[in-house]
Chains A and B, each alone.
Chain A
Amino acid sequence: MKLFDFWGGVHPAGQKHLSADQAIRVLPMPDRLHVPLQQHTGRPAIPVVKVGQKVGKGELLGRAQGGVSASVHAPTSGVVAAIGDFTAPHASGLSLPTITLESDGEDRWLEREPSPDPFGLEPEEVAARIGEAGIVGMGGANFPAAVKLGKARQAKVHTLAVNGAECEPYMTCDDRLMRERADQIVDGVRLMLHALQAPDAVIAIEDNKPEAVASMKAACQPERQIRVVVVPSRYPAGSAKQLIQILTGLETPAGGRGTDTGVLVHNVGTAYAVHRALRHAHPLISRIVTVTGGAVAQPQNLEAPIGALVDDLLAFCGGMAEAPARLLMGGPMMGQPLPNTQIPIVKGTNGILALTAAEARLEATPSPCIRCGRCVEACPMGLMPLEMSKRARHDDLDSAEAFGLVDCISCGSCAFACPSHIPLVQYFEYARGALEARQRAEQKAKETRRLLEQRQARLARAEQAKAEAAARRQAEKRQAKAKGGATA
């Protein structure tokens, strides 16, 4: 298959050897699980259980609300211990509404109907079941999968691109999944093709994962419509926009969707979750998480229930070999720093990364930009990060926007390449936040003005009505007087 190139990109050290040879192990069920009601893009799920209620494994805990949302389910059987706020997997350390589940140790599935042959179902029904299973994009986008599939079918997508690139350094969860559960992934791909009514699928894997490529190729053998393509290892090849560019040479239009190019991108983990949902009626209640980094005693790939604490996963990996300088959820290029280890893993958690000071290069302090252009060269979106950051620093938001601030995908290639160690992405995040705040303020001012104008109009109308009524009364009075005068 003819491949195209994407722009820019960088070659960070893969560091996948730390965990790549560790087969997936199942994390022993923790005593308590903390399942956030919002693990996805869109509106949070609404709790449908009460404190003290006994639930079976896979039972609905929170129902999706509105068009873009996802349900959450009980990862094991037990009792709902609390419904309240719990620290969210986010750098801010802020909390989110969360259902805390006390495991009863039985891990007893909820009684379910046996699932029918999914290929006998209507495509809409397949998508609906994917939605009911609470499946979201597991590559980190966290967008509800059923919504994405539905929109893609309407957009008449011709190809499903299954993303097994896993370009983030250190991360090996997709690699292990492809090596160990290739048949299930391919089945999930076939089911998604059925839901999409699309003819073809390509499974894209970076060339640094030969075992995964071999395993996936073997699993695809009987499927003429599903092909494995090996893409060069270059970050961020696994970003949806860049993957589409590699496969088709087309670009997602600015402000548009990937499906505008006729391609829908889904992660291999999502395909696996679809297989579980439709063949076994298992909702998305666990996922593969890579626990790795120089500070972790025994890096591993764990199949962990959603809601398990980072601490539970780290403890199973032998704890810390040394105090980490950085603790991240996700890879080093785009991962979120975690404020502590008492934070639950969610549907989009691909890894827990504990970096040593040497790995995180903490000694590197920012120095002035020397305009070397390495950031421009590295940017896969064709932006000029040095110009954008200069403007963001001076709060010149309009100008930063004109340089393409909204087109930035926050991949971090620019900051990775910068010899002056300028935290470019941080400037962009700041500027984007400021821009959004300004737009909100403008919207609010507009709304206030509208309400004020409406009120004034209403008052004016009332005033006018009053004046008219007075005039009418006066006229009537005059008329009555005149009449009275006439009769007198």
Chain B
Amino acid sequence: MSMFPTSAPHAHAPDSVPRIMGLVLLAVAPATLYGIILFGWPALNLLLVTVLACLLCEAACLRLAGHAVRPFLLDGSALLTGVLLALSLPPWAPWWIGAVGGFFAIVIGKQVFGGIGQNIFNPAMLARVALLVSFPVEMTLWLEPHPLFSSHAPGVLEGLAITFGGIPNIDAVSGATILGRIRTELGMARELGQILPGHYQAGTAALGWTGGSLGETSDLLALFGGLWLLWRRVFTWHVPVAMLATVLVLAGGLHLLNPERFASPAVHLLSGGLMLGAFFIATDPVTSPTTKLGQLIFGAGCGAFVYIIRTWGGYPEGVAFAVVLMNAATPLIDHYVRPRIYGRTWRGRSRPVPEHAKRPPVGSGEAE
């Protein structure tokens, strides 16, 4: 028997990093599948290219750094980064967007910092922000749903042509996301009462029958996936609830003040990448605070930035920016927000027991 001394504990929760990554991948699978069905073969091509780029870059970096490639490649983190990045891209984006994004996410966003657990920014969101700033045209090419096998959807070969050769007739397929339309038309001094009817229905938006990034359109699927992860205790409620509640409160408050200028909370909660971001992006353990209070602050900050960017910023959507900004604040939050140590004051001094508190436990000494 192996008898080398090792420290207790000798029991362990049935939990591991690959298992966590696997559960998250499983939870995001419905939204991913829905995105592929909604936008057809080009979406699947883009997903595969992005994931492949991430895995190749991960393997190359691990080899360069002299780490064991297999265990890290198989921990599922690079795969998850690839999937989340692809879900945040325009579904018919050319292949090189996925490839460059994958490279940026893994090499610049993760491995340069030292690999898994070391990165400051969420790799997928950092890559999305970099792509959006560098290639604004390709990154804002939105289209109406082109469901798989429907009459106007491209076939397999056409899909390959779109991903690897470009979209033949861009104007015929492209459209605006609801957040984009609101931004543009508010800019033209129109009011929400004129903008929304005909373009926005809460029900279809929630179900995801609308334009947008590959995996962000179905808020319900993202919500169910997120709730399932909560139930499986992969993460706790603090980040998503704080993020969604902050958007709800800000949007609700301002909508009450001026419904013609500020969209309703329903529009905000059920559009864009908020739901996906709240449950799958902001909850990334590596780049969010480790204490519960810190996570509440982080989530609230993400929500506030999303709302501010959507409402007053230069882009119609702000989930990626919001998450990356709050990622940068995470070390600061973790530095200042620490739990109180048992038997100590918040300042770390010994915490005396007040004299009046030293009394027998309530009810002790009496018969039950």
Interface check A392, CB cutoff 8 A? no
- Looking at B13, B350, B367, which has the most chain A CB atoms within 10 Å of its CB? B13
B15 to chain A: closest CB distance in Å? 4
A9 to chain B: closest CB distance in Å? 12
Measured between beta carbons, the chain A residues less than 8 angstroms from B7 are: 423, 425-426, 429
Query: Across the two chains, which residue of chain A brings its CB closest to B67?
Result: A368
- Looking at A361, A365, A380, A402, which has the most chain B CB atoms within 10 Å of its CB? A361
Q: How many residues of A contact B (CB 8 A)?
A: 89
Measured between beta carbons, the chain B residues less than 8 angstroms from A426 are: 6-7
Q: A1-B364, A369-B117, A376-B291 are in contact. Are A12 and B11 (CB under 8 A)?
A: yes
Our pick among B1, B288, B348, B361 for the contact of A324 (Cβ within 8 Å) is B1
Q: Chain A's interface: helix, strand, loop or mixed, by majority? A: loop
Assess whether B116 is in contact with A368, with CB atoms less than 8 Å apart.
Answer: yes
Interface check B12, CB cutoff 8 A? yes
Assess whether B1 is in contact with A325, with CB atoms less than 8 Å apart.
Answer: yes
B357 to chain A: closest CB distance in Å? 6
Query: Across the two chains, which residue of chain A brings its CB closest to B72?
Result: A367
Chain A residues 90-108 with CB under 8 Å of chain B are 91-93
Assess whether B353 is in contact with A200, with CB atoms less than 8 Å apart.
Answer: no
Q: Which of A75-83, A272-280, A412-420, A478-486 is near enough to bind chain B?
A: A412-420
Q: Which of B81-89, B187-195, B258-266, B335-343 is near enough to bind chain A?
A: B335-343
Measured between beta carbons, the chain A residues less than 8 angstroms from B6 are: 337, 423, 426
Count the A-B residue pairs with Cβ separation under 8 angstroms: how many? 216
Q: How many angstroms between the C-alpha atoms of A169 and B8 in the bound complex? A: 13
Chain A residues 341-397 with CB under 8 Å of chain B are 353, 355, 359-362, 364-365, 367-374, 376-377, 379-384, 386-387
Measured between beta carbons, the chain B residues less than 8 angstroms from A377 are: 236, 292
Our pick among B13, B15, B235, B360 for the contact of A199 (Cβ within 8 Å) is B360
Assess whether B10 is in contact with A355, with CB atoms less than 8 Å apart.
Answer: yes
Query: Across the two chains, which residue of chain A brings its CB closest to B357?
Result: A250
Our pick among B2, B11, B15, B359 for the contact of A325 (Cβ within 8 Å) is B2
Measured between beta carbons, the chain B residues less than 8 angstroms from A262 are: 353, 357-360
Assess whether A361 is in contact with B12, with CB atoms less than 8 Å apart.
Answer: yes
Chain A residues 14-36 with CB under 8 Å of chain B are none
Query: Across the two chains, which residue of chain B brings its CB closest to A386?
Result: B290
Assess whether B342 is in contact with A380, with CB atoms less than 8 Å apart.
Answer: yes
Measured between beta carbons, the chain B residues less than 8 angstroms from A423 are: 6-7
Measured between beta carbons, the chain A residues less than 8 angstroms from B157 are: none
A146 to chain B: closest CB distance in Å? 23
Measured between beta carbons, the chain B residues less than 8 angstroms from A328 are: 8, 10
Interface check B171, CB cutoff 8 A? no
Q: How many angstroms between the C-alpha atoms of A239 and B367 in the bound complex? A: 27
Q: Which of A54-62, A112-120, A252-260, A284-292 is near enough to bind chain B?
A: A252-260
Measured between beta carbons, the chain A residues less than 8 angstroms from B19 are: 419
Interface check A176, CB cutoff 8 A? no
A351 to chain B: closest CB distance in Å? 12
Assess whether B358 is in contact with A158, with CB atoms less than 8 Å apart.
Answer: yes
Interface check A454, CB cutoff 8 A? no
Assess whether B11 is in contact with A169, with CB atoms less than 8 Å apart.
Answer: yes
Measured between beta carbons, the chain A residues less than 8 angstroms from B295 are: 373
Chain A residues 312-353 with CB under 8 Å of chain B are 323-328, 330, 332-340, 353
- Looking at A13, A250, A380, A383, which has the most chain B CB atoms within 10 Å of its CB? A250
Assess whether A419 is in contact with B16, with CB atoms less than 8 Å apart.
Answer: yes
Interface check B5, CB cutoff 8 A? yes
Assess whether B343 is in contact with A253, with CB atoms less than 8 Å apart.
Answer: yes
Query: Across the two chains, which residue of chain A brings its CB closest to B344?
Result: A254
Our pick among A93, A225, A338, A364 for the contact of B16 (Cβ within 8 Å) is A364
B14 to chain A: closest CB distance in Å? 8
Indicate with 1 or 0, residue by residue over B234-252, a CB within 8 angstroms of chain A CB atoms: 0110000000000000000
Assess whether A407 is in contact with B13, with CB atoms less than 8 Å apart.
Answer: no
Assess whether A334 is in contact with B9, with CB atoms less than 8 Å apart.
Answer: yes
Interface check B147, CB cutoff 8 A? no
Our pick among A227, A379, A425 for the contact of B8 (Cβ within 8 Å) is A425
Interface check A241, CB cutoff 8 A? yes
B120 to chain A: closest CB distance in Å? 11
Interface check B286, CB cutoff 8 A? yes
Assess whether B360 is in contact with A200, with CB atoms less than 8 Å apart.
Answer: yes
Our pick among A252, A339, A371 for the contact of B343 (Cβ within 8 Å) is A252
Q: A254-B351, A373-B285, A383-B339 are in contact. Are A416 and B12 (CB under 8 A)?
A: yes
Measured between beta carbons, the chain B residues less than 8 angstroms from A340 are: 3
Query: Across the two chains, which residue of chain B brings its CB closest to A217?
Result: B368
Interface check B17, CB cutoff 8 A? yes
Interface check B203, CB cutoff 8 A? no
Q: How many angstroms between the C-alpha atoms of A369 and B287 in the bound complex? A: 12
Measured between beta carbons, the chain B residues less than 8 angstroms from A197 are: none
Measured between beta carbons, the chain A residues less than 8 angstroms from B3 are: 327, 337-340
Interface check B352, CB cutoff 8 A? yes
Indicate with 1 or 0, residue by residue over B259-288, a CB within 8 angstroms of chain A CB atoms: 000000000000000000000000001111
B330 to chain A: closest CB distance in Å? 9
Interface check B20, CB cutoff 8 A? yes
Q: A369-B117, A371-B286, A377-B236 are in contact. Are A1 and B353 (CB under 8 A)?
A: no
Measured between beta carbons, the chain B residues less than 8 angstroms from A372 are: 20, 235, 285, 290
Q: How many angstroms between the C-alpha atoms of A377 and B3 in the bound complex? A: 31
Assess whether A364 is in contact with B12, with CB atoms less than 8 Å apart.
Answer: yes
A369 to chain B: closest CB distance in Å? 5
Query: Across the two chains, which residue of chain B brings its CB closest to A379?
Result: B339
Measured between beta carbons, the chain B residues less than 8 angstroms from A420 are: 16-17, 117
Assess whether B339 is in contact with A158, with CB atoms less than 8 Å apart.
Answer: no
B279 to chain A: closest CB distance in Å? 15
B17 to chain A: closest CB distance in Å? 5
Assess whether B364 is in contact with A250, with CB atoms less than 8 Å apart.
Answer: no
Assess whether B9 is in contact with A416, with CB atoms less than 8 Å apart.
Answer: yes
Query: Across the two chains, which residue of chain A brings its CB closest to B363?
Result: A1
Interface check B115, CB cutoff 8 A? yes
Measured between beta carbons, the chain A residues less than 8 angstroms from B204 are: none
Query: Across the two chains, which residue of chain B brings its CB closest to A406?
Result: B341
Interface check B201, CB cutoff 8 A? no
Our pick among A245, A417, A429 for the contact of B15 (Cβ within 8 Å) is A417
Assess whether B17 is in contact with A367, with CB atoms less than 8 Å apart.
Answer: yes
Q: How many angstroms between the C-alpha atoms of A1 and B363 in the bound complex? A: 5
Assess whether B344 is in contact with A376, with CB atoms less than 8 Å apart.
Answer: no
Q: How many angstroms between the C-alpha atoms of A371 and B291 in the bound complex? A: 10
Our pick among B9, B75, B341 for the contact of A254 (Cβ within 8 Å) is B341
13 further contact pairs, Cβ within 8 A, besides A253-B353, A359-B11, A367-B75: A12-B13, A159-B361, A224-B366, A227-B365, A245-B342, A323-B1, A332-B10, A337-B3, A370-B286, A384-B338, A419-B15, A425-B8, A429-B7
Q: Which residues of B contact A (CB under 8 A)?
A: 1-3, 5-13, 15-17, 19-20, 71, 75, 115-118, 235-236, 285-292, 295, 334, 338-344, 348-353, 357-368
The 19 sampled A-B contact pairs (Cβ below 8 Å) are A12-B11, A92-B5, A158-B360, A200-B361, A227-B368, A247-B361, A254-B342, A333-B8, A337-B8, A339-B5, A361-B11, A364-B16, A370-B117, A371-B286, A373-B285, A382-B342, A404-B341, A404-B344, A416-B9
